[in-house]
Amino acid sequence: MIGKDKIILLTGAAGFIGSYLLGFLNKQGFENIIIADEFDEEDKWFNFDSKEFMAKVEREALFNWLEENKPAISFVFHLGARTDTTEFDYSIHEKLNVAYSKNIWNYCVSGNVPLVYASSAATYGSGELGYLDNHELVEKLHPLNPYGVSKNEFDKWALHQTKQPPFWAGLKFFNVYGPNEYHKERMASVIFHSFNQIRSTGKVKLFKSHRPDFKDGQQLRDFIYVEDVAKVCHWLMDNNVPSGLYNLGTGKARSFEDLAKATFAAMGKAPLIEYIDMPEDIRDKYQYFTEANMSKLKNSGYTEEFYSLEEGVSDYVRNYLLQKRYY
């Protein structure tokens, strides 16, 4: 168990999941947190400006800063990454998601510091091999975009390392949604886009299916509320579990139609859904079904129930989006 006086390093702290985890850790009594990210984007400032932390370091300066200041870090959450699935220049993902993560890993090895980092369900590609967080499958996976490739390349690299942090976990995030994603624009969750469409037009536009085995709106994803992600991250900090890759979804796939209806319900409106063609640039790289096999995390001792889609969407819409609040 990490004491409240210990120092935590959190990368990606200005982003969606990172800023939420920062607020969650604050609520648990942790304030000795070094946050790292690119802090020059004004639309991210509200994500972190009201939270408690001991130092704020630009991403590019982090390792020099650590060398100069030598803080006694007790735990690292590495959530910083380029997450744009429509960015097809792999060199960008290689630099930010692979090379930078290797530097984080090596820092944790040299300092004997436990590490939790963000992997992704995008590593599973079209899901032809299933969604089991089995280390034997990692070399066989075929992600559909450069982002997914970069995440899988780092997972593969981590599994081959003989020098490892005292504990490490790569969390394969499925479809995370919730507060603090206002800045993400096209890459924000479908809940966020649905809310804004309903408010401005009274209806939601969903992608048509371009596969005969899926009806329009019945494409399935494992949607997980960001509160559950933060709970698991905190739990991993306090419990002795085996190192390795862990899925992080709810284990229950739901349709985009279900999601849209839950958003309408949270806004107190009758559902009105229109189906549109999927953009051609993502059509052959689109996942029609994702569902996390959560047995590994549960077998390691995690017993908390996850938010249902309806519970999570209701909380997000009513307590944050309708009030333009941040967590």
Among the listed residues 184, 231, 252, 285, the single catalytic one is 184
Which residue in this structure is represented by tokens 């370091």?
Answer: 57
Among the listed residues 20, 117, 124, 147, the single catalytic one is 147
Residue 244 CA, chain-centre distance (Å), reads 17
Q: Provide the 3-class DSSP secondary structure of residue 225.
A: strand
Q: Which amino acid is at 142?
A: H
Residue 257 CA, chain-centre distance (Å), reads 22
CA pair distance 248, 296, nearest whole angstrom = 10
Residue 59 contacts residue 40 (beta carbons within 8 Å): no
Residue 256 contacts residue 190 (beta carbons within 8 Å): yes
Q: Which candidate, 235, 8, 1, places its Cα nearest to that of 113? A: 8
CA pair distance 65, 108, nearest whole angstrom = 15
- Look up 184 and say whether it is catalytic: yes
Residue 33's contacts (CB-CB under 8 Å, 6 or more residues apart) are 7, 8, 9, 10, 13, 22, 25, 26, 52, 53, 54
Q: Which candidate, 281, 273, 264, 143, places its Cα nearest to that of 215? A: 273
Residue 201's contacts (CB-CB under 8 Å, 6 or more residues apart) are none
Q: Which candidate, 54, 302, 60, 285, places its Cα nearest to that of 171? A: 302
CA pair distance 165, 112, nearest whole angstrom = 6
- Look up 298 and say whether it is catalytic: no
**Which residues belong to the active site?**
147, 184
